[in-house]
Amino acid sequence: MPDQRGHSARRHEYDWAVPLQIRKLNEDEAAKAFPRHGQMDLSEYVEAVGDLQPGDTAAMDLGDLTTRAAKRRLGQAAMQLGRRLRWARATDTDVVYFQVLAVAPPRSRGFAGPSGTGKTRRTRYRRPRSTAMLGAPTSEKTTAVPEPESTRARGERRRKGPANVPTDG
């Protein structure tokens, strides 16, 4: 049932009498609407962060920016200057507080090997084999003893197969 303005009570009802209008953007409009990665002019932010020394703390009024956008732009400007920013917990909705830190150390994901490449994989701990399994003389019948759970890696199940099957002598 329409209200005084002629709008229906149903929210998603479409008036088929109104034609759909789409306008193709020219190159300038498209560039403004969808800036390419790294295309945004951060000179204002670089200059503002450049005036600060490592250890300085500062606040920035957000104005029309979202907190996310302000942090991203300031963070990118700091990276251009070889610095990092540490963010304070949000106490105000219209201000962002941060501290300038010294040169950003390279981040490594996982465990770095001796070369420092960060591509070395972490190996699981393996229990040393008992002398019985290394070819020392044993009795004719051996029974596999299940290992205690505390020696297995976290989340690893006991394996079924030839190692846990008693051998016939």
Can you give the residue ranges of every domain in the chain? Answer: 54-105
Mean pLDDT of 70-86: 93
Mean pLDDT over 76-92 rounds to 90
> Comparing 7 with 55, which gets the higher pLDDT?
55
What pLDDT, on a 0 to 100 scale, did the predictor assign at position 101?
93
Distance, CA of 11 to CA of 62 (rounded, Å)? 34
Per-residue pLDDT band for 100 (boundaries 50, 70, 90) equals: very high
Q: What is the pLDDT of residue 71?
A: 94
**Which residues 6+ apart lie within 8 Å of 3 measured at CB?**
9
Whether pLDDT at 38 is above 80: no
Q: What is the mean pLDDT of residues 111-129?
A: 62
Residues 94-108 have a mean pLDDT of 80
Higher pLDDT, 51 or 128: 51
SS3 label, residue 74: helix
Tokens in use for 111? Answer: 């465990």
Residues with Cβ within 8 Å of 88's Cβ and at least 6 positions away in sequence, in order, are 57, 97, 98, 99
Between CA 73 and CA 62 the distance in angstroms is 12
- Per DSSP, 18 falls in state S
**3-class DSSP assignment, residue 86:** strand
Q: How many CB atoms sit inside 10 A of residue 49's CB? A: 25
- Under 8 Å between Cβ of 89 and 77: no
